[in-house]
Structure 1
């Protein structure tokens, strides 16, 4: 039974005609549940049906790639001109049950493509990934201007298909070191044309993607963006830059901004190197949100770290955020939103994941893949297994990745 007095249970207007039934926002997690043609599987559809019944107001999909020749991971879902839209319609129908909104997150990985999937990835500039990732990701080449224009149109085309397939909205992924974030970062973007240099030029790619999407989907269809508060990287996208970008996006008419942070080189989004004061408040990026909320009149979502109804309600009541973004907790308990709204004292604990070997944990991306394995269980109707051994997760990850490493890529 929902507690209607809970701030979590209050409706939120997104556009003049679209509202979220509550303040809980399921942030994107990479599900790794696309089929061999990178289409939604029955398991993925069942996963979102389960989440729609769990009480979340807005569900955001894991990154749907706009180009099947640029995958961040082997089993990404892709929405391009080769896609079977019938399967996307089934996904949308499942995820919008129970008055739930389902938004599709649109993404391009740029240079964050494992080397087994791509010989020569593309990026704003030919700057390789560092911080121990050199052996796993090939150096990129710089995009040409015509390729940049083509990618903008791919984002817009995919957004129109998402709308036509029944998705409630779309979100541009401009965080976590993927292509749009690479353009924003002065470390990764060293171009000397209109797409690089000044912040105005570095944000041009994100703004042009938004403008092209808006042109395709119309004025009242929800379009959001996931943006880093900062990259937490020397010479990278800074908090000051981020504040300027959110102001520009609001002026353009974007409907919602989700705040996160970090990238593959500095994984702030999974809570690495969190200060004690931050742990107490739970949310990793709440300090940034408190400043950002003073600049914004559109909904702001803070994702990362929330575990208790008490901290979520405090954040909402403070005005620092309009919605609470949660991800990994929903992989362990898909019914968590219903529980949080029914009981102001409810909370969830997530265990620390390690094999005891830090390098192995890093190589297998254990903090991400363990949760992907939970999603796979839910999709197959088995339910999550919170006590799943990290070792079993690592072995499963390498078995999956190994199979793809030896599989010849299709054109």
Structure 2
């Protein structure tokens, strides 16, 4: 019977269990995207906590693809020393690390990106104030090569895999969505054309890293937007990716414009509210041969074990629970199977904007309160 703490492989990469730290912006890099010692030690702590595969916060492949302060960068070869150190810290604790690659497209602003945002079309992304410029075909080809160059650097830096961020309304997702891509050329219109940018990136990355280096993707099962990239399209794109030899698909859902159905939902208080992207993941798993990861509100070991046992997905991705309890995987494995302490308040991200790093504010308040009562 399949279990959460099985040792598994993705391509040739041996992973100690089926728990994945899903990519999470930490706000712990320098302004240029260079990792800091604080980020290295943060990743070391996560790896020591027992998670099988650690996917980094989204790393921009070109300066204008940056969205947030302290965001990781994968665009510069001179980050080699720091990147080697980051990967080594995870390896020293028995973990594996995957570099997530992104261009944030129209979901950024000139202040963060250093230039006018770019997108498939000059269509303003909901929740973002600036009108992007439409990418010409020549620049699309340039971005494809920049994704490949970043993947090549990741392999040279000692990372174990790369993941393409094709979800949550970022540039690749904007190409996939008919809401943001009505281009009249070969990159727009029918799904075959809207998926061309993604498939060209996959082909270029595979050529850059070779057949044995794991290439993963984060894909929306549904944008949760009327007229957006929906589940039927996602199933077709997943088949295309599987045919291209993708090594694993992490299934998410939503964009910042999706109201209560955004990628990061609040108030996950019951088992019934957990695994809210599982219906998407299960549909996709039924049509692909590669492993499928599911992310979204999973807080209970028995929920995770059920998903794995029933073969509804192959890996369980976690984000916010590991901010409060980086040792959660080890706690579960050692027999303390209590539900994760994360209350899904999203307060953890606010310190990243003002204090150069995310942390669980609820846990910090509780610690300070205990200190005052001693």
Tell me if TM exceeds 0.5.
yes
- Structure 1 counterpart of 2:87: 92
Tell me what 1:386 maps to.
362
Task: Please tell me whether the aligned partners of residues 229 and 288 of structure 1 are also in contact (alpha carbons under 8 angstroms).
Answer: yes
Is the CA contact (8 Å cut-off) linking 1:281 and 1:311 kept in structure 2? Answer: no
SS of the equivalent of 1:55 reads: coil
Give secondary structure in 1 for the equivalent of 2:182: coil
> Which residue number corresponds to residue 166 of structure 1?
158
1:243–1:292 Cα contact (<8 Å) kept: yes
Shift of 1:344: 6.5
Matches within 5 A, 1:184-333: 184-266=176-258, 267-271=261-265, 279-280=271-272, 282-333=274-325
Alignment of 1:8-23 (within 5 A): 8-15=4-11, 17-23=12-18
1:179 to 146, 171, 174: 171
TM-score where L is the length of structure 1: 0.83
Residue pair 2:271, 2:300 contacting (<8 A) in 1 also: no
For residue 308 of structure 1, report the CA deviation from its aligned partner. Answer: 1.0
Structure 2 residue 345 is matched with structure 1 residue 369: no
Helix, strand or coil at the partner of 1:13: strand
Alpha-carbon spacing, 1:344–1:318, altered in 2? closer, same or farther (3 Å)? farther
What CA deviation, in whole Å up to 9, does each residue of 1:276-325 have, x standing for no partner? 9x951610111122222211221100001111111110111110010110
Secondary structure of 1:106 counterpart: strand
Which residue does the alignment assign to 1:57? 52
How many angstroms does 1:273 deviate by?
Answer: 9.5
Confirm or deny: 8 A CA contact 1:60 1:104 kept in the other structure: yes
**SS class of match (2:123):** coil
Give the CA deviation at 1:74. 2.3
Give the 3-state SS of the residue equivalent to 1:160 in structure 2: helix
Change over 3 Å in CA distance of 1:376–1:67 after alignment to 2: same
Separation (CA, whole Å) in 1 of partners of 2:329 and 2:59: 24
User: Which structure 1 segments of 5+ residues have no match?
Assistant: 354-364, 379-383, 390-411
Aligned partner of residue 183 in structure 2, secondary structure = coil
Distance in 1 of aligned mates of 2:30 and 2:356:
15
Question: What does residue 370 of structure 2 align with?
Answer: none
- Give the length in aligned residue pairs: 362
Identify the match of residue 35 of structure 2 among 33, 40, 44: 40
Q: How far 1:336 sits from its partner (Å)?
A: 0.5
Taking a change above 3 Å as real, the CA distance of residues 181 and 127 of structure 1, as seen in their structure-2 partners, is same
Q: Partners in 2 of 1:238 and 1:181 — Cα distance?
A: 11
SS at match of 1:99: coil
* Partner residue in 2 for 1:405: none
- Residue deviations 1:337-357 (CA, integer Å, cap 9, x gap): 10122227321132353xxxx
**Between 340-349 and 157-166, the greater mean CA deviation after superposition:** 340-349
Once residues 273 and 265 of structure 1 are traced to their aligned partners in structure 2, the CA distance between those partners, rounded to angstroms, is 18
**Maintained 8 Å contact 1:38/1:68:** no
Corresponding residue of 1:397: none
The alignment partner of 1:287 has SS state of helix
Deviation at 1:385, TM superposition (A): 5.0
1:137 CA drift (Å)? 2.6
Partners of 2:69 and 2:90 lie apart in 1 by 23
Specify the alignment match of 2:124 in structure 1.
128
Q: Which sections of structure 2, spanning at least 5 residues, go unmatched? A: 366-374
Question: Is the CA contact 1:229–1:239 (under 8 Å) kept in the aligned structure 2?
Answer: yes
Contact 1:309 1:344 in 2 (8 A): no
Out of 322, 334, 340, the residue aligned to residue 332 of structure 2 is 340
